[in-house]
Amino acid sequence: MTGQETSSPLILVLEDEPDIARIICSALSGYGFRSEHLRTGRELLARAHQTSPDLVIVDLGLPDMDGMQVVRELQDGSPCAVLILTGRNDLTDRVLGLELGADDYIVKPFEPRELVARVRSILRRYTRAAAPDAPGDAAPPERTVARFGNWQFDTGRHSLVHTDGSETSLSSAEAALLLTLVRRPNKILSREQLLGERDVDPFDRSIDVRISRLRRKLGDDPHSPKLIKTVYGAGYLFAAQVGWE
Ligand code: CA
């Protein structure tokens, strides 16, 4: 919580080139977002801890550390939505970024309007996952716990607690995906339903990457998953009885 108006999302922009940062921040503020610019990974991580931003835009090539490391540390310490911005047009980086919990990836040079469109799409996805009955309502998500198998999923804290007492934290993207799954157990959900978007690019692997991360965290065998089943050509199915409290 920032303690300021919740109607205006806060976006931290991690970028070491001042000209690019200026373009990004001015595009964001033109669309009503609050933004702050930080030049180094360490500054960004400290600021994210203080402000709990709604989204962080991370440049991969930084003076003090690799942007991927920043994404990793963010997900461990201050989970939030992440958009990776990079000059490296490399599929390996893209997949790695998504595996680390980033929500999307944009390659330089980019159109500021395209960047804003991606930011809005990510934030919409989270708003919908947090409050599907009241789209656009900025009220904080309720603390709710879903129980299934040996797990308790605290939807507000993005944490998974096993019956043996061990706790695993989820990135915002993973928590949003798990919330969609536990809300509709034992039903086949398409990639569009899981991403909360229409017309998902069939080559977009982001959902598969997130599913495999979730399976790993849930201790689900990727070769023979019991909880999150793959339904070939259709999507995924969450095979469990879910109780709520
Ligand atoms: Ca850079």
**CATH number of 182's domain:** 1.10.10.10
Average pLDDT over residues 203-221: 84
Average pLDDT over residues 151-171: 90
The confidence score (pLDDT) of residue 127 equals 66
Q: Are both 123 and 172 inside the same structural domain?
A: no
CA of 127 relative to ligand 1 center, distance in Å: 30
The confidence score (pLDDT) of residue 2 equals 39
Q: Are both 104 and 212 inside the same structural domain?
A: no
Q: Mean pLDDT of all residues in the chain?
A: 83
Q: Are both 117 and 229 inside the same structural domain?
A: no
pLDDT above 70 coverage of the chain, percent: 84
Q: What's the total number of domains in the chain? A: 2
Q: Are both 13 and 119 inside the same structural domain?
A: yes
CA of 17 relative to ligand 1 center, distance in Å: 6
Which residues share a beta bridge with 236? 189, 230
Average pLDDT over residues 6-34: 91
| Cβ neighbours of 131 (radius 10 Å) | 16
CA of 62 relative to ligand 1 center, distance in Å: 5
CA of 21 relative to ligand 1 center, distance in Å: 10
CA of 39 relative to ligand 1 center, distance in Å: 9
Higher pLDDT: 193 or 57? It is: 57
CA of 185 relative to ligand 1 center, distance in Å: 43
Residue 234 has pLDDT above 90, yes or no: no
For residue 163, give every residue at least 6 positions away whose Cβ sits within 8 Å of its Cβ, in sequence order, or none: 150, 151
CA of 10 relative to ligand 1 center, distance in Å: 21
Residue 133 has pLDDT above 80, yes or no: no
CA of 175 relative to ligand 1 center, distance in Å: 29
CA of 61 relative to ligand 1 center, distance in Å: 4
CB distance 51 to 2 below 8 Å: yes
Average pLDDT over residues 113-134: 74
Q: How far apart are CA 145 and CA 172, in angstroms?
A: 16
CA of 46 relative to ligand 1 center, distance in Å: 19
- Domain of residue 88 covers 3-130
| Least confident among 13-22, 85-94, 113-122, 212-221 | 85-94
CA of 122 relative to ligand 1 center, distance in Å: 22
| Least confident among 13-17, 175-179, 225-229 | 175-179
The confidence score (pLDDT) of residue 4 equals 41
Q: Are both 24 and 119 inside the same structural domain?
A: yes
Query: Quick check: is 211 in a domain?
Result: yes
The confidence score (pLDDT) of residue 202 equals 63
Helical ranges in the chain per DSSP H: 18-30, 41-51, 67-77, 91-99, 112-130, 172-183, 191-195, 206-217
